[in-house]
């Protein structure tokens, strides 16, 4: 590789790592949803990786189309800015809806005790809630809507990698498609790997700080996190 290619490769890895680390919207939604939905580690990794692929790949496709059509950097950045606004509003709407749903679920799922006397004379007390038409205490707790992972994937598909477009344009302008491919692969792999590692580290930390009394507010907290991430994307907070 030439010195220019080596510089581009190093920049791809560095920028891929930093833009992910400094963008909480790349990992906090997965941490919040994994904890609220009691996702397994495997499910969390799969969803994070798929959303990361969609996040990077959408910008790659737009970048390659722009390169093929000879679209200038200013116009490409304008397209990415519009996509960012769309993704931000979508995350705001989804987060707000999920927050409301989570508050409602928490209120309905407030536990209280019931005394049960059986015909054989055995008397026992168990906690009971109003979620799911008076489910027995041994049944599964309230679960989030099953479409949640797909909604997250769709939002991340529209969410652009603004840092990737300028990096694609540099080798493209020099006529080196090999460098374009290298930049794309290094940036994408670094971004997705960083997302996954941060999600797993934060989840491990969240498991240590687990307050039983607050468990029923997990869905509401997840909605609040999604909502705030949407605000951060849309308004640069």
pTM, 2 dp: 0.79
Neighbours of 173 (CB within 10 A): 10
Quick one: CA dihedral 25, 6, 81, 49, positive or negative? negative
Q: What is the pLDDT of residue 18?
A: 94
83: left (phi over 0), alpha (psi -120 to 50) or beta: alpha
Mean local confidence (pLDDT), 9-28: 93
| Structural domain that includes position 97 | 3-235
pLDDT top residue among 218 and 50: 50
Res. 5: pLDDT tops 50 = yes
Res. 32: pLDDT tops 60 = yes
Lowest mean pLDDT among 3-12, 25-34, 211-220: 211-220
What are 229's two structure tokens? 């991430």
Q: Which range among 115-124, 170-179, 209-218 has the greatest average pLDDT?
A: 170-179
CA distances from 228 to 21, 37, 91, 237 (A): 17, 19, 9, 9
> For the chain, what is the domain count?
1
CB 26 within 8 A of CB 20: yes
């Amino acid at each position: 590789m030439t010195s220019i290619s080596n510089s581009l490769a190093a920049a791809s890895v560095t920028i891929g790592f930093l833009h992910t680390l400094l963008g909480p919207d790349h990992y906090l939604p997965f941490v919040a949803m994994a904890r609220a939905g009691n996702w397994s580690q495997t499910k969390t990794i799969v969803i994070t990786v798929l959303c990361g692929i969609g996040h990077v790949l959408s910008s790659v496709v737009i970048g390659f189309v722009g390169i093929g059509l000879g679209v200038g950097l200013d116009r490409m950045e304008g397209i990415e800015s519009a996509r960012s606004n769309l993704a931000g509003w979508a995350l705001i709407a989804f987060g707000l809806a999920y927050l409301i749903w989570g508050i409602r679920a928490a209120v309905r799922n407030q536990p209280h005790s019931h005394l049960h006397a059986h015909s054989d004379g055995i008397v026992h007390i168990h906690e009971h809630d109003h979620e799911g038409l008076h489910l027995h205490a041994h049944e599964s707790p309230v679960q989030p809507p099953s479409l949640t992972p797909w909604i997250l994937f769709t939002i991340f598909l529209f969410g652009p990698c603004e840092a990737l477009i300028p990096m694609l344009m540099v080798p493209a302008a020099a006529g080196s498609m090999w460098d374009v491919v290298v930049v794309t692969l290094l940036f994408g792999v670094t971004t997705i790997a960083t997302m996954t590692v941060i999600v797993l580290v934060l989840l491990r930390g969240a498991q240590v700080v687990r307050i039983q009394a607050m468990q029923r507010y997990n869905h509401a907290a997840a909605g609040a996190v999604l909502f705030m991430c949407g605000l951060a994307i849309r308004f640069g907070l």
